[in-house]
């Protein structure tokens, strides 16, 4: 199998797998539960690109949890997304 085809199929497979992790719950259901904290924000940051792609095709997929505890969730989300994309460390090493 050609490397470009293999890599494309692997990428498509990963998009499907990671976007399946991004579940949306009605806000009324979220309010009665404990709000999402730092670690859920970190996880949602990791899967944000896949959640975004999933949200284009499915209306019940979202990138960001509405029911969160504020700063700590946001911090986790930004760190998770930054870690996934290499953060600013890559730019400073050039």
Question: Considering its fold, how many domains does the chain have in total?
Answer: 1
Residue 61 lies in a domain: yes
Residue 94 lies in a domain: no
Tens of pLDDT, residue by residue over 46-67, are 888 888 888 888 877 777 777 7
Residue 25 lies in a domain: yes
**Radius of gyration of the chain, Cα coordinates, nearest whole angstrom:** 16
Phi-psi group of 41: left, alpha or beta (phi > 0 → left; psi -120 to 50 → alpha; rest → beta):
alpha
Helix (H) or strand (E) holding 4: helix 3-19
pLDDT at 67: 75
Residue 93 lies in a domain: no
pTM for the whole structure: 0.56
Domain interval for residue 69 = 3-88
Full DSSP string of 26-56 = -HHHHHTSPPB-HHHHHHHHHTHHHHHHHHH
């Amino acid at each position: 199998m050609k490397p470009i085809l293999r890599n494309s199929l692997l990428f498509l497979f990963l998009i499907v797998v990671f976007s399946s992790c991004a579940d949306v719950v009605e806000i009324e259901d979220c309010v009665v539960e404990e709000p999402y904290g730092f670690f859920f924000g970190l996880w949602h940051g990791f899967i944000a690109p896949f959640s975004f792609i999933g949200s284009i095709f499915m209306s019940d997929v979202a990138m960001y949890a509405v029911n969160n505890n504020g700063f700590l969730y946001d911090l986790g989300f930004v760190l998770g997304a930054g870690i996934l994309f290499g953060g600013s460390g890559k730019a400073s090493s050039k």
